[in-house]
Structure 1
Amino acid sequence: MQALPKHQRGLTFISLCILLGIFGFFVFLILKIGPIYMDHAKVASALEALKKDSAFPTMTEPQIRRSLDNRFTIGYVDFIAPEDIKVSKSNDYVKVEIAYEVVKPLAYNLSVLVDFHDQIETGGDGGV
């Protein structure tokens, strides 16, 4: 007489492959999108450093742009174009906005678009 087989436990090879595929997909996304946010952190820290500069409220627009350009050069930020930076200045109010998009290809014709908009302001309505 044959003994009945015990219930099978664990993953089959196909289910293991599916789980590894899903895990691999998310690792792939993190490796593609993670550097975009790491680069954005450099932009945000440059803006915060500019805001903490004691001369910031009295700087002219070209001085603000030059200061940001110097900070971007030090941080290896080369994806910000001059037209992405908008400086608004009136009396004691200064506002600096940086708005840019990053498009990163994932595979074939599939890409990811990340849109960033950061700003700092001081004086007048902005306060420090």
Structure 2
Amino acid sequence: MELTGTGLCGSPWPELLPDRRPVLVVPAVAASPVLAGEGWTAHPPGGDPAPGWTAVLDGQHLTVRRPGGHPWYEGPVAAGRQWQRAIRAHRTLLLVTGPFTGVLDFRTAATTGRLLLLAVAARLTDSP
């Protein structure tokens, strides 16, 4: 993963994987709880998004909803054009969360295998 966002104050930051798939890294302090049975995994998920999850990017405002429509994350992201294009192209967003509060302690959570991942269906508000 290429670190392109801020993530210094406990807020989520957008990233792009080497293959240009979009990722939202969400520190534990900014995330809603990760619930068992919602599809979260410690391993990279397959290509299909988790059933019932959606993400909608409206300008710089992102809303991620869990099954049933309840928001999991709702707020601003510092999304550049490349990230927005990646959402449009892939129509999937990889969520990454875990026991870290920002970019400075992300690496420790990653190297100790404590990250959780979930792929969700994603679109821009101007996408059909």
- Scaled by the length of structure 2, the TM-score of the pair is 0.27
Larger Rg: 1
Higher strand residue share: 2
Higher relative contact order (CA 8 A, sep 6+): 2
- Scaled by the length of structure 1, the TM-score of the pair is 0.27
Higher helix residue share: 1
